[in-house]
C-alpha cells in the first residue's frame, strides 16, 4: 500500500505540481529532474543558481542522497538533470 502511494506520488502528483512551477515542465529532462529532486524538499527552480552553482549543488545533493540511503539517479539521469538545470540556469 505504501509502495502504491509512493508510485502515485512520484508518477502522478509531483510531475503535476512541477508543471505549474518549472520552465519547460513537460520535457523529458524536466520530468527526470522532477522525479529525483523533489523527494526531500520542494522542487527548486532551475533559475535559482548559475551553472557553476548547480555543478556544486548537484555534487552536494549526491552526497545527501548517499547519507540518507535515497536511490540515486543513474548516470543518464544525472546527465538529463544537469542538461535541464544548465539550460535554465541564471
Q: Residues in the site for ligand HEC, rule: CB under 6 A?
A: 36-37, 39-41, 44, 48, 57-58, 60-61, 64-65, 68, 70, 81
CB-wise, 12 or 79, nearer to ligand HEC? 79
Q: To which residue does cell 502528483 refer?
A: 13
Minimum CB–partner distance for residue 13 and ligand HEC (Å):
16
Are 28 and 21 in contact, with CB atoms under 8 Å apart? no
What is d(CA 88, CA 51) in angstroms, rounded to the nearest whole number? Answer: 9
What is d(CA 47, CA 63) in angstroms, rounded to the nearest whole number? Answer: 22
Minimum CB–partner distance for residue 58 and ligand HEC (Å):
6
Minimum CB–partner distance for residue 5 and ligand HEC (Å):
18
Amino acid at each position: 500500500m505504501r509502495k502504491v502511494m509512493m508510485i502515485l506520488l512520484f508518477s502522478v502528483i509531483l510531475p503535476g505540481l512541477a508543471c505549474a512551477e518549472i520552465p519547460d515542465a513537460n520535457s523529458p529532462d524536466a520530468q527526470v529532474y522532477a522525479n529525483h529532486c523533489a523527494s526531500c524538499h520542494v522542487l527548486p527552480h532551475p533559475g535559482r543558481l548559475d551553472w557553476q552553482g548547480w555543478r556544486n549543488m548537484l555534487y552536494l545533493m549526491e552526497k545527501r542522497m548517499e547519507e540518507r540511503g535515497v536511490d540515486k539517479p543513474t548516470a543518464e539521469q544525472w546527465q538529463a538533470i544537469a542538461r535541464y538545470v544548465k539550460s535554465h540556469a541564471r
